[in-house]
Amino acid sequence: MSESNPENKLVISAALAGAITTKENNPNVPYTAEEFGDEAKKCYDAGAAIVHIHARHPEKGNPTPDLDLIRAVLKNIKSKAPDIIINLSSAISSVATDKERIAPVQTFKPPLASLNTASMNFAVGDYRTGKVGMGAGNIFENTFKTISKFAKEMKKAGTKPEMEIYDLGGLYNMLFLNRHPDNFTQPLHFQFVWGVLGGIPFNPRNLSMVLDLRPQDSTWSVCGVSKQQFQAALCAAAWDGHIRVGLEDNTRSISGELAKGSYEQVAWAKKVAEIAGREIAQGDEAREIFHLKKEHVEL
């Protein structure tokens, strides 16, 4: 039997809740620390290496910048899935201040955190009718001042930025900022986000375009809204990328039914990886692939 090739390994991330998805959309969206811990354990057992966290108020369900509530979520996750890698959101919600957005990174110093890369419209829409729904009046603000400040604080914390790329503008912003040697530790890690209304949709041409522009030593993963989660994941598995799934992005399973949890989508992603001839990576293997520090979330 030939030895496993680490360059052929695939990392699966699970975004458990997000800022928008609620139990009204899918009752399996976690709110409490215990629900986050239970879901993270199921995701790890299904094959996920990373969980992306927007903590929620346990009763109200809204995304929260409260550091005590975030700490409770992280403690519960690490108690039930100690080897899973924490990825904290630096977006939190549409009403969080810059100070609130970066505070969890400064406080907990996770190995990975999202870094949003451009100001943009950010909404939910019905593509059948052209009607804009939730977020019709929202601007997701990420100025160069904010991006640079967050990058500096992440570097100080030893946290790798996961650069969230919603469109070409965000990608060119990061390529520009990467010219300054003090902004980022190399190599970079990109996450290409498809299907947000205000961003760009997934298709193989768009994916090929952003891959041609990224630094060739960088790592990359994909996520997508609704069905684009599955479409992007299939291409990423075949094109040597990595995959994010989870109820933050899509409340349903590949069959169209409500997902039993993010773990059900993780199990699907693992099957896709195997069909593409790849093995999943977890723990230290995943940390090495994404060039992350050894796990030490300060709780």
Per-residue pLDDT at 2: 41
Tokens 């919603």 correspond to 166
Per-residue pLDDT at 127: 81
Least confident of 75-84, 130-139, 143-152: 130-139
pLDDT tens string 4-18: 566 799 999 999 999
**Contact residues for 75 (Cβ-Cβ < 8 A; gap 6+):** 33, 299
pLDDT range class, residue 22, cuts 50, 70, 90:
very high
How many angstroms separate the Cα of 285 from the Cα of each of 70, 108, 142, 288?
A: 26, 22, 32, 5
Indicate the Cα dihedral angle 153, 172, 114, 145, nearest 10°. 40
Mean pLDDT of 153-176: 98
Side chain identity at residue 137, one-letter code:
G
The set of long-range contacts for 212-218, using a CB threshold of 8 Å and a minimum separation of 24, is: 213/168, 213/171, 213/172, 213/175, 214/171, 214/188, 214/190, 215/175, 215/178, 215/187, 215/188, 217/186, 217/187, 218/187, 218/188, 218/189, 218/190
Are the C-beta atoms of 45 and 264 separated by less than 8 Å?
no
- Residue 258, number of CB atoms within 10 A of its CB: 15
pLDDT tens string 86-137: 999 999 998 999 999 999 999 999 999 999 999 999 988 888 899 998 888 8
Per-residue pLDDT at 1: 37
Per-residue pLDDT at 174: 98
Are the C-beta atoms of 72 and 33 separated by less than 8 Å?
yes
Mean pLDDT of 75-92: 97
C-alpha–C-alpha distance, residues 6 and 280, integer Å: 10
**pLDDT at residue 3 is higher than 60:** no
Tell me, letter by letter, the H, E, C secondary structure of 94-107. CCCCHHHHHHHHHH
Mean pLDDT of 52-76: 97
Q: What is the mean pLDDT of the chain?
A: 95
Domains of the chain listed by start with CATH number: 6-289 (3.20.20.70)
- What tokens were used for 90? 């630096």
